[in-house]
A and B are shown apart, each in its own frame.
Chain A
Amino acid sequence: MKKKALAIIFIGLMLALTSWCVIKLYCLFWKFIQEIPGGLFRFALLAGSLAVIVVSITLTAYLEVETKVPVKKVLKRVALPFAGLSAVPALLLNILKPKKAPEKVEIYERKCPSCGWEVGTKTVCPHCSARTYGRISQKHIIFIAATLLVISILLFKLAAVYSETEITKIGALGEEHNFRHIRVIGKVTDAPRFYPDEYGTSGLLRFYLNDTTGELSVKSESGVTRKLMEQNKIPGFGDVVDVEGTLYAGEEYRVLKLRSADSLKISPRYYKKVPLALIDGKKEGELPQGELVELHGEVSAKIKLSFAYIIDVADEEGNQVTVFVPQSIIDLTGLGDLGNIWQGSEVTVRGALKWYDSKNDYYDRWELVPATTKDIVLKGIPTNITGEPGYLQCTISDLLTSPSSYEAGLVRLENVTVTDAGSYAEGYGEDPATRVEFRVSDSSTTASLLVYAEGGATRPLELSLGDRVTLQGLFTKYGGRWELKIRADTTDSIEKVEVEG
């Protein structure tokens, strides 16, 4: 909307400016042509339009070699309309045969036009040596300068012609296209890979595209990846994407580097609702690879691996389909409902079909790979590990004795003691927008558990050693250690327990 409003304001301003310029130029124009012979003027106009055509064609011919924009397109959009605009008035002038401009009469001015001294009838000023005849008028110079406005419009028109980068086939890309700005459209052949940077908030994103003529790797650096994450524009397996950027090509590699988040467009995803029975037990080739489908069922198993979540979804008839959620997708699109999904949860999952080739026929199967974690939707109330709704109340001993059982689960710890005030002791607790860390322990074990609260999470602003707190959050593993994560914008919280006396 902002862009539209801005555009409307500028159009108004530019129209006003242009109208003023046109009126001024019109006045100057008629004064100008009265001073030169009509035939010469018409000849100049025709010659000018021809020159524009020649320049446009030459220019386009050069550019066509590199950008593959056909000459016809440029001719149609730029050269011909412009030539028409300039040639038609010239022809009309010829047909109408306007009054012949008066013959130029050399008038010897009494004063030198350059320095203003008296010169009488002399043709050269005795004071400054300037000629008093055959001079170029300032108005003519301004008129010539005004043609820059026409050239400017022409150049902007040419820019519009080239505003859309020509689509290139991946198979046609080679080393000769190195460092060129190119555009390709293709299908994402696998889930994107993500290499987080130091803080994990962004990083290097890489995915592969295939347009049936070849495959190309597309990557984005941290800054662009962050924008893609903010705009929820993470391409998923099976997506059709339109992408443009700089090509880096060598003998055995072709990498397209995204320069901005706007350079990536993902086609809308249309999912086909299918029963599990249609997928379960099908052999390779029996289903179309990458087809987008939507499934509904009950979670029969949820396994957390170091690189992915594996969720088995089953229906009442015993048909089962595995949903494979790579860690990269979680890093890029967040945990979503995954933390609330346990065995028995009812879910709807949308994703692309992918054949899992394990090199062992027994395990080979069709899997579903979602594009984002938002494609896994939990039906009903979120449940904890026991299948009950809400946070699971437990002790620190429960969590640390068999952590993998509770991983990615919502847990509640009541009345635990702060054994190390961490960030609070360092004075970082007072700002609610700051993330904090501290350690807690309870009577169930001598070990302590790390608590990590995100910036903006519900928490007290002051905590010190020995304080009692009740915590509820997500039990997770980060950087090789187990922690209770208190997330912002959720029901997760840290509450200080007031001790009587």
Chain B
Amino acid sequence: MIPELYLVCIFFAVIGTFIGALLSLIPSLHVYNVIGFVMLAYLPFVGIIEPMHMIMLLIGMLTGYAFMFQAQTILLNVPDDSTIFILLPGSKYLQQGRGYEAVMLAGLGGLLGIFFIVIALPCGMLALGAVRKLLTPNILFLVIGAIICFILLSEWPKDFGTARTRLGRLRDGWSALGAGYLTFFLASVLGIIIFNTSIIPVDRSFLQLALPFIGLFAVPALLLNIISKLEIPKQHLPSSVDVTIEEVARGGGAGCMGGLLGAFVPSVTAGVAGLLAGHATAQKGDKAFIISLGASRIVYYVGALLLFFLPLLHLRRGWLAISINMFFVPETTEQFFILAGAVALCGFLAFVLLLGLSRVMIKIITKFSYRKISFAVLLVIIFIVFLIGSWQGLVIMLAASGIGLIPVMFHSRRLNCLAVLLVPLWLNIGGYGSAAAGLLGVL
């Protein structure tokens, strides 16, 4: 490419960042849903619009979304699969009038993620290449299996309760644990069904996976907001954040490590990967945790695309990389540096937008009743789901919402909901996917 044309690339990336950030203001609308439609619209024009320009637009959208959606999770309590873990500490901050500070912490994590992917990834390409060679399907099967074991085992230990009889204590002990395992089981079944059948209209079936996620994570959180009559106290807009350099380093380090794990291992999303990395680095405290998940999310989403362009690696992970590969094959070192440069630029822009737009969101949530906002958001989500999947989509969302409500009602962990993605992919990698689908009669 002629270096003068980099300016056009920058223009597309900047436009993409604004689009991504603005789209993130629409509750539960995942940028991948929009990108899916953008791709469908672009494919007939592949020969007319330069692919690199399109990629710049997409990376801008992704970066804008990855930053901005954190504000939605913290301020509106509308999480997705990768922000579900911020929900609790985010709510705590919000109830203390520190929602903006929590957004700043998540944004700081995101910035660290951007620094990591544009500086450390290219320096470590040989090491990453070696890791990739290690991750054969057999090893991946074992790794994902180990993560599933971690999720199941980490439900323990639970409170045995204070019932007087042994049976009573057994019931107390197993109520939350049983609910957690039931969630895991039902989410797995839902995942296997979703992975093996096209329930929504075929022309939009590539968006089918978004629907259970909305049902599992966003809808229960909103219902909880409505039922619990939650009201948001006046929010303070601080000019500084209460965090130490050590917390930033620990959170950022764990987040980047987790995000990289998520970007490398299929079906392991940013949230669970960040959590694992947090455990691995003995992370403690809400501040480091929020920073960690902010970083993990950026590395998971944006880093995965950079890995696809990274010379000597070209690892195709993540929905966007797979979609881009439909019309483009990255080949040159120049393309990688253009993309990395755009990511650095979009990262800065998205961070500034995050600070600005989250102030607007805070004004809205403190001006209007939080219940009413949650109700309005729920209606928007139902409308989006209907647009994506028609009435069949609403059925999927309802079924997933039922599963997602179990941990909310029985105080077990929402982490179990991730079985919707982990289990079917784990079975597919192991070669048991068809057998499992056959057992459920969905083949």
Query: Which residues on A are within 8 Å of B, measured CB to CB?
Result: 3, 6-7, 10-11, 13-14, 55, 58-59, 62-63, 66-67, 69, 112-116, 127-128, 130-131, 134-139, 141-142, 144-146, 148-149, 151-156, 158-160, 162-163, 165, 181, 223, 227, 246, 259
Contact = CB atoms under 8 A, between A and B. Distances in A.
A84 B244 CA distance: 32
B241 A152 contact: no
Contacts of A139: 239
Interface string B122-142: 110110000000000000000
A24 B8 CA distance: 24
A136 B238 CA distance: 11
A148 B97 contact: no
Given A10-B11, A131-B242, A116 B97 contact: yes
B111 A145 contact: yes
A148 B348 contact: yes
A115 B96 contact: yes
A163 B2 CA distance: 7
Contacts of A146: 348
A3 B5 CA distance: 8
A81 to B, nearest CB: 15
Enumerate the 8 nearest inter-chain pairs by beta-carbon distance, A residue then B residue, closest first. Answer: A155-B341, A159-B337, A116-B236, A181-B331, A152-B344, A10-B7, A135-B240, A130-B242
B236 A115 contact: yes
A155 B342 CA distance: 9
Contact of A155 (B4, B115, B340): B340
Nearest to A115: B97
Which of A138, A153, A154, A259: most chain B CB closer than 10 A? A138
A148 B115 contact: yes
B212 interface: no
Given A63-B333, A223-B47, A155 B344 contact: yes
Given A113-B239, A114-B236, A151 B97 contact: no
A59 B123 contact: yes
A59 B3 contact: no
A55 to B, nearest CB: 6
A14 B5 CA distance: 13
B297 to A, nearest CB: 16
A152 B331 contact: no
A160 B3 contact: yes
B337 A14 contact: no
A58 B331 CA distance: 21
B290 to A, nearest CB: 13
Given A151-B119, A163-B334, 14 more contacts: A3-B2, A66-B311, A69-B333, A115-B96, A116-B236, A135-B241, A136-B243, A139-B239, A144-B111, A145-B111, A149-B345, A163-B3, A246-B329, A259-B329
A243 to B, nearest CB: 14
Contacts of B234: 116
Contacts of A130: 98, 101, 242
A3 B6 CA distance: 11
Contacts of B337: 155-156, 158-159, 162
Given A138-B104, A145-B351, A14 B241 contact: no
Interface of B: 1-8, 10-11, 47, 96-98, 101, 104, 107-108, 111, 114-115, 118-119, 122-123, 125-126, 234, 236, 238-245, 248, 311-312, 329, 331-338, 340-342, 344-345, 347-348, 351-352, 355
A114 B8 contact: no
Interface centre among B2, B97, B101, B332 (most CB of A within 10 A): B332
Contacts of A6: 8
A55 B115 CA distance: 13
Contacts of B122: 59, 62
Given A62-B126, A162-B333, A149 B1 contact: no
27 contacts: A13-B11, A69-B333, A112-B236, A114-B101, A114-B236, A115-B96, A130-B101, A131-B242, A137-B240, A141-B104, A141-B108, A144-B111, A148-B111, A148-B114, A149-B344, A151-B118, A151-B341, A152-B348, A154-B341, A159-B335, A159-B341, A160-B334, A163-B1, A163-B334, A181-B331, A181-B332, A259-B331
Contacts of A156: 3, 6, 10, 337-338, 341
Contacts of A112: 236
A116 B342 CA distance: 38
Given A135-B242, A142-B352, A155-B340, A128 B97 contact: yes
Nearest to A245: B331
B10 A10 contact: yes
